[in-house]
Amino acid sequence: MIPRYAPKDVAALFSDEHRFDTMLEVELLAAEALVELGVVPASDAAALRQRRPVVDAAFVDAVNQREEITNHDTAAFVDIVQDRIGMPEGAWVHFGLTSSDVVDTAFCSTLTAAMDIVITETLKLRDALTRRAIESVDVPIVGRTHGMHAEPTTYGAKFALFALQVDRDLVRARDARSAIAVGKLSGAVGTFSNIDPAVETYVCAHLGLTPVPATQVIARDRHAQVLYACAALGTSMEQFALEVRHLARSEVGEVEEPFAPGQKGSSAMPHKRNPVVAERLSGLARVLRGYLQAGLEDVALWHERDISHSSVERVIMPDALQLTVYMLRKATWLADGLVLHPERALFNLTEASLGLVFSQSVLLALVESGVSRDDAYRVVQSAARTSIEERRNFRDVIEHDGEVTLSDEALARAFDLDRLLAHRRRVLDSLTWRA
């Protein structure tokens, strides 16, 4: 991931130093498990732990140089670890294991830690949207379908629905975390031919992972599930961002991204305050969905294993997790700081719309008065067209329409905004996690 979109805490998890250090921990735990089975002398395992090499840039460089000879990165890693620890104790490193035992288990441990960050940041986004929903549930705004004015709604309803979607994403993220928090140390083709199952149990327990049956590799549908959780989150953030972008347009003007002192919206036009973060979220969501496609193609491997997935995962998994966390933090910033313009929203609702948002209410009032629905629809549709063509307020047109025989009371009720929004707080009942 390019540094621009790489949160430091997540990037550190996918660094070579962290990768090799986690692999080393798997190796040492496996040796310690073999002590309990009477295979490795306790003194040798203690020496492995005591002489554990520091995994730093120099260590990584040594592994990379060794790989130029071995053309096998895990074999190069084992060679360097054994060399740093020394013999004869170093000979117990990687005893009875195959590369995937170490690499897959370490990778799943890292992905689990990354998903913990994703879950934490998802909670923050959901809670930010929830706060905005509660504080703005009584603030009216015109609803839109097909991009056209429809019935009134409120800012709070919009925020609440986004919060509910992110809460569903939270469920998916937690499920994906459970799916990837697994390990395997069952040897070549996964049959425990040269390693006791107790080693797998011991190592996974110490890493907080669940042992799972496997071929030579852990099944890649688990990794695809992580990518789906990330892609789903990205799509939800895109939906929120797209709403911000639409409502921020000059001719709408109902919201505005936070704008810091000294910020420039355009290099050429000083008046601009562009929704750049929302646009960025929309764009990056496309990247996350692309990673999912590649992850799904990694699921089908030949027989007990091949490594067609390996090169793909080295790119997409670190990038997807870093990008997801970056987007979550930006989306939370946007939700927390989004500037609302209630006066403009009310103007658009009542004035710019010419009052046409009340057309259904007039239709229903006519039906209640005894007019057939088809006849009522024709009358209201004709009046709406007159309102648009003559740029007259819809209520004024209705009041002067000879085919409309509604009482003053019925007419007032039809154009009563409070009546239409009487149940606006009901959506908050669905936000069951709110304080």
pLDDT tens across 167-200, in order?
999 999 999 999 999 999 999 999 999 999 999 9
Per-residue model confidence (pLDDT) at position 1 = 86
What does the alpha-carbon distance between residue 312 and residue 309 come to, in Å, rounded to a whole number? 5
Tell me if residue 148 falls in helix, strand or coil: strand
Q: In the predicted model, is pLDDT for residue 264 greater than 80?
A: no
Per-residue model confidence (pLDDT) at position 55 = 97
Per-residue model confidence (pLDDT) at position 271 = 80
Catalytic residue among 146, 271, 303, 423: 146
Going by the DSSP 8-state scheme, the letter that residue 189 receives in this structure is: G
Q: Which CATH class is domain 3-48+55-345?
A: mainly alpha
Going by C-beta distance under 8 Å and a sequence separation of 6 or more, which residues neighbour residue 257?
244, 248, 273, 274, 275, 276, 277, 278, 334, 337, 338, 339
Torsion of CA 56, 58, 60, 63, to 10 degrees: -140
Give me the helices (H) in 14-154, please.
16-36, 42-50, 57-70, 73-85, 99-136
Q: In the predicted model, is pLDDT for residue 435 greater than 80?
A: no
CB atoms within 10 A of CB 35: 18
Q: In the predicted model, is pLDDT for residue 117 greater than 90?
A: yes
- 146 as an active site residue: the answer is yes
Q: Angle formed by the axes of helices 16-36 and 73-85, to 10°?
A: 70
**Phi and psi dihedrals of 171, rounded to 5?**
-60, -45
- pTM for the model: 0.95
pLDDT > 70: percent of the chain: 100
pLDDT tens across 204-238, in order?
999 999 999 999 999 999 999 999 999 999 999 99
Per-residue model confidence (pLDDT) at position 268 = 72
- Altogether, the residues listed in the chain come to a count of 435
Average pLDDT of the residues in 228-257 = 97
The structural domains of the chain, with segments of one domain joined by +, span: 3-48+55-345, 356-414
pLDDT tens across 267-314, in order?
778 787 889 999 999 999 999 999 999 999 999 999 999 999 999 999
Catalytic residue among 43, 193, 266, 407: 266
- 206 as an active site residue: the answer is no
- Residue 336: CA atoms inside 13 Å, Cβ hemisphere, count? 10
Distances in whole angstroms, Cα of residue 99 to Cα of each of 73, 76, 105, 378: 9, 11, 10, 74
Per the prediction, the chain carries an average pLDDT of 96
Distances in whole angstroms, Cα of residue 107 to Cα of each of 99, 198, 333: 12, 21, 30
